[in-house]
Structure 1
Amino acid sequence: MVPALLAQAPQGVAIDTIPVEGQVLFIGLLFLGTLAISRFSIQVGVPAILGVLLLGLAININYLDITHQQAENLHVFALALLLFYAGLKTDIQAIRGFLPYGLALAVGGVALATLLLGGLIWLLSSAGGDAISPGTLDAMPLGAALLIAACLGSTDAGATISVLASVRQLVPERLQHLLEFESSVNDPTALLLFGLVAGLFTTGQADGAPIGAAGVLVEALRSFVQQVASGLVIGALFGYVARFVIDQLAQDRSQLLIMAMSIAFIDYGSCQLLGGAGLIAVYTTGLLMTNMRYRQAEFNHESIQEALLPFNTMAEICLFLIFGLLVTPASLVPALPVGLASAAVLMLVVRPFSVLAFQSLSPFNRKESLFVSWCGLRGAVPLALSYNAVNQIGHLRGVSPAAVGALAQNAQSIVFIVVLVNLLAQGLTLPRLCVRLGLVAPAGN
């Protein structure tokens, strides 16, 4: 349940009171506006999703009758599709030679970044997340700080690729593959860490009696392992189901889109109903589909990606537009100091440290590793997880009922501000850094 502070956002003109012709006109203009602002954003050197996010923020929920529950439902559909596509993009053949390093960044790097950023937010932020107060007793509960950090653990492949488009020829191809692989694999890692943090710090009871710390840890780990295992098993099963469906039912490429979407949504829904992690399942299915052989040569991972790409792009644009629509600009003001400080710490300390900590496993030189450390753009998954964080904060130990509303609002605002600043600052500077470092693709790449 979304806290009342968020659910009671002021409403303006309800869209269902407008004639259907007006609704169709509005939706058409809205999508045309996202196209125009995406084009403009790319021209000035920032990710297209940042422009879409700002467009939604400018329109705001005050003028649309959209509830947060409806938005959360749309987030589920969009995230399932985005992670399914991320799995499809993870070609094991393309990452040979740096697979251990890529996994270390995508798993260990996210865990390290979550712990470090969470600790720094805990040390810097006030209890309500509305002021910077280092070294005081009035600190944000550790569970809330780690939950915010867990939201920000995942990088965004779409944003990184969008920014690198203008300087792609200056970046070694295998470095591009590393960034795409890390951004794809760290999405499910961030989701799992978020669930683990929520389980460890959530109040629990057994037969009316509070569960001790050891019991909470065991229960959280049990739930964590159960969801991961279920997601992996069901995802793997649906990978073979997908190959069977494509081999037996696909007649031409025009059918691949509906087949891929159907598989992704059935996969997610089945896993969730069975108590597993649906987003892990769809990623696993996409990963297996990419590395499988099909009966007809024209039906392969490239043709499936090509069929799904337009809808995946639309889902990502809709996701960021909705995020912008649901955030009231005035609600960001109290969290601005902590949000800006968290963004600076994430970009200048946490991300570089979480990359350089695994340098011993890296086949890349220092310049390339520095470039990777500045490619930690945040996007859809952090924003989506911020809505889950809102729901979890009221159940965290150490959070008083009177402080839940303000803390939940500020936690979500902190994530939003960090994503906004991160996309703007790194989006503008990444191409310049690439040129300055003098990265040149080696011969044969």
Structure 2
Amino acid sequence: MDYGLAWVLIGSLMLLASIFAGLLSSRVGAPLLLVFLGLGMLAGHEGPGGILFQDSQLAFILGSTALAVILFDGGLRTPRATIERGLGPALALSTVGVLITAGLVAAVAHYVLGFGWVFSLLLGSIVSATDAAAVFMLLGRSGIALRDRLRATLEVESGSNDPMAVFLTITFTSMLAAGELEIGWWVLGDFALQMGLGGALGAAGGFALVWLMNRLELSGGLYPILALAGALLIFSGTQLAGGSGFLAIYVAGIVFGNRRVRADQLVGRFFDGLSWLSQIVMFLLLGLLVTPSELLPDIGTALILAIALMLFGRPLATVICLTPFGFPLREQAFAAWVGLRGAVPIFLALFPFLEGFDRSGQAFNIAFVVVLVSLLLQGWTIPWVAHRLHVALPPEPEPATRMDLDLARRTDRMDRDLIAYEVMPHSRAADFPLADLDLPKRTRLIVVIRDGVVQRLPEVKQLSAGDFVLVVTPPETAATLDRFFSRRFASTAGQLSVDQGDFLVEGSSRLGDLCAAYGVQLGQTSPDLSLAELLRNRLGEGMGRGDRLRFGQVEFIVVDKIGPEPKRVGIVLEPDPEDLGWRRRLASRTRSRLQGLRQRLPTIGSGAGSG
């Protein structure tokens, strides 16, 4: 009994140490996941903690479960708009990009380091995927606001590329264990089976879990437990059926998070805390597994592979996968640098241990060092790189204080949400008279509480900061409504970076007035068209913050967007050619060189004549 309690004491102390170390790391800018990993190493048998932990089977089970929870939580927090913006490029990066990365790292391992092809491909597969926990956490904690499409691509990619890396790792581990040295067409069959089953069972399981949540009458605290049990059932059932459980649980999370589900606020908060616990436990366990003295012989090898991965493999994969989708070079460079490696490569390195492969220790040590290098170099420099590449947008407005209320037990029959807000200073809701407040369609303000007193709505001319309001709105417009009540900067123009425009105008501005003011040719465009209408027509309904539109000699940039309408638009009078497509960029440089040549030709001619 005392022995078991001692482990409870040790575990609780490690969790507390992780939390307090996280608070300290946020002040010095250290990557939080690196702190968790370091604490695990310090608690290990070669550190001050002296804990001997070598159970790779237990670490694999706990790591699988933790990663499944993280992926489900990531799916929960991926709205449909994010998927629509980033699905194409994210799928390219999570499939073709993973293959390119794994292949290039394998080529370096084979030709430079002299490893056999199958072992080289195993190493490339282990380090090929970005880490969902690392990307979600570091992008969120760094406070960087990115162009909506770029951020969507990175988030969806980090959640969807794990299945590809897991498949490749299992394939090459099995080949090494069986002594096979050639890759056959059976690999494609296995891949189609795993991904097909994973996607289908994940979607079906997600819809089934939503149906079950909305039909059962339970105590409020049981709904998060039901969601957890259902998610893990989808994960484990798909794995046992021969599909990709990691893909299934991520897809199930996306389905679940984009449907009307009873007690969704409770479920969201529950999985937020559980995801943090999963990340801490996974990194602490993997840190405990490491023997620092055994890393020394493989450090040189790991550093070579880490450099190949960060400076060649990931950038090459990013350029090949994102160029067809029109991403500017600076955004491609940032996406390449955000290819963070976290717990997933270390977790994947456990597969050779489970198969009893005799070089499994070397694979594990190499993966661990690669992760350390990635977290140290990439994780620590993300904000600096974002600003150097000029991809960072002005910070998002401070979120409004919001509380959702369940209107009815039968949520499938309700098409409205009841939401309570606190009106924030400088919010759009406080800047305009109530009659002029352009709330989303089918949205109604029903109660205003000011200084603790319920106000008569006909007497409320304008909302004030600190007011509490109750709003009835369709669920699909809740995110749009958040922007009305959230804190904006006192001067949005003052927050603009150099990449957000030389001037800031309202989206409702007439195009004819703007073109006359800035000397831009309208062409065939109607002068009565508003700037917001032009952007919506040219960029589509899925446009987001940071999206750009070249119009004549200027460029328009979406700076502030509420719902489908861009409210603030930046104007760049002399656009940077680097922000254009590669064809336009090539044409721009060619024209510049021809103009320079024409300027020099008279001088050359006059010089020849005088001679």
Band the TM-score falls in, shorter-chain normalisation:
0.7 to 0.9
> Is contact 1:196-1:224 (8 Å) kept?
no
1:143 — aligned with what? 118
Q: Larger deviation: 417-426 or 305-314?
A: 305-314
The correspondence for 1:173, drawn from 142, 148, 152, is 148
2-structure distance, mates of 1:170, 1:308: 24
Deviation at 1:427, TM superposition (A): 1.4
Any conservation in 2 of the 1:377–1:423 contact (CA below 8 Å)?
Answer: yes
Deviations 1:215-240 (A, max 9, x none): x6244333333333332332222112
**Which is further off, 111-120 or 259-268?**
259-268
Deviations 1:224-275 (A, max 9, x none): 3333333233222211220121111265653332112101221222223333
State whether residues 172 and 440 of structure 1, in contact with CA within 8 Å, keep that contact through their aligned partners in structure 2.
Answer: yes
CA distance in 2, matches of 1:392, 1:140: 19
Contact 2:31 2:138 in 1 (8 A): yes
Q: CA deviation at 1:304?
A: 3.5
Q: Is the contact between residue 386 and residue 412 of structure 1 (CA under 8 Å) also seen in structure 2?
A: yes
| TM-aligned CA deviation for residue 58 of structure 1 | 1.4
Counterpart residue number, 2:32: 48
| Deviation string, structure 1 residues 351-390 (Cα, Å, up to 9, x no partner) | 1111011233234322122111110111121111000033
Q: Give the residue type in structure 1 aligned to 2:560.
A: G
- 1:167 deviates by 4.8
- What RMSD over aligned residues (CA atoms) do the two structures have, in Å? 2.5
Q: Which residues in structure 2 correspond to 1:114-153 (within 5 Å)?
A: 114-125=102-113, 139-153=114-128
Structure with bigger gyration radius: 2
Letter in 1 for 2:133: G
Unmatched 5+ stretches in structure 1: 1-15, 126-138, 205-210, 395-403
Q: Does the 8 Å contact 1:78/1:315 carry over to 2?
A: yes
CA contact (8 A) 1:199 1:220 kept: no
Residues 1:283 and 1:22: Cα distance change in structure 2 (over 3 Å): same
Moved more, 103-112 or 192-201: 192-201
Q: Give the % identical residues.
A: 30
Where does 1:2-401 land on structure 2 (aligned, <5 Å)? 19-61=3-45, 63-66=50-53, 67-125=55-113, 139-165=114-140, 167-198=142-173, 203=178, 213=182, 217-249=184-216, 251=218, 254-294=221-261, 296=262, 299=264, 304-392=267-355, 394=357
Q: 1:258 to 1:426 in 2, by over 3 A?
A: same
Aligned residues: 393
CA spacing shift, 1:46–1:250, aligned 2, 3 Å: farther
The offset of 1:25, in angstroms, is 2.7
Runs of 4+ in 1 over 4 A off after TM superposition: 18-21, 199-202, 250-253
Q: Does 1:425 align with 2:408?
A: no
Report the Cα offset of residue 31 of structure 1: 1.0
SS of 2:124's equivalent in the other structure is helix
- Counterpart CA distance in 2 for 1:271 and 1:330 is 39
DSSP-derived class of the 2:143 partner: helix
Shift, 1:19, TM fit: 4.2
Asked whether the 8 Å contact 1:375–1:426 carries over to 2, the reply is yes
**Cα distance, 1:256–1:118 mapped onto 2, change above 3 Å:** farther
Distance 2:22 2:389 in 1: 28
From the superposition, tell whether residues 100 and 227 of structure 1 become closer, same or farther in structure 2 (CA, over 3 Å).
Answer: closer
1:415 partner amino acid? A
Structure with more strand by fraction? 2
Letter of the aligned partner of 1:241 in structure 2? A
- Which residue of 1 is the match for residue 360 of structure 2? 408
Instruction: Tell me the distance in 2 between the aligned counterparts of 1:287 and 1:19.
Output: 42
Note the C-alpha offset of 1:199: 5.0
Most deviating of 329-338 and 268-277? 268-277
- Contact 2:56–2:354 (CA under 8 A) maintained in structure 1: no
Runs of 5+ consecutive residues of structure 2 not aligned to the other structure: 394-545, 547-558, 562-611
Change (3 A) 1:228 1:172: closer
The one-character-per-residue Cα deviations of 1:287-329 (angstroms, maximum 9, x if unpaired) are: 22233344x5x53xx7643331101110111000000001111
The answer as to whether partners of 1:54 and 1:324 remain within 8 angstroms in 2 is yes
Spell out, residue by residue over 1:13-50, the C-alpha distance to the aligned partner (whole angstroms, 9 max, x if none).
xxx8x645443332221111111222222222232111
Partners of 1:311 and 1:58 lie apart in 2 by: 24
Cα gap change, 1:115 to 1:230, in 2 (>3 Å): same
Deviation per CA, 1:160-190: give whole Å up to 9, x if none: 3433346535433332222111111111222
**Change beyond 3 A, Cα 1:388–1:172:** same
